[in-house]
Amino acid sequence: MSHAPSPSDPAAALSRLSAISAALRPHDPGAQVALDPDHGSVQVLTVLDPVEVERILAAAGIAAGKAQARGDGCGCGCSCGG
Please give the torsion angle defined by the CA atoms of residues 25, 46, 51 and 75, in that order, rounded to the nearest 10 degrees: -140
The whole-number pLDDT of residue 66 equals 65
pTM: 0.68
Tally of CA atoms within 13 A in the half-sphere of 81 that contains its CB: 0
Are residues 3 and 67 in contact, defined by beta-carbon separation less than 8 angstroms?
A: yes
* Fold that domain 10-60 belongs to in CATH: Alpha-Beta Plaits (3.30.70)
The whole-number pLDDT of residue 47 equals 94
Model confidence pLDDT, tens digit, residues 10-56: 777 788 889 999 999 999 999 999 987 777 788 899 999 999 999 99
- Residues contacting residue 76 through CB under 8 Å, at least 6 positions apart: 45, 46, 47
Model confidence pLDDT, tens digit, residues 48-76: 999 999 999 999 998 877 666 665 444 44
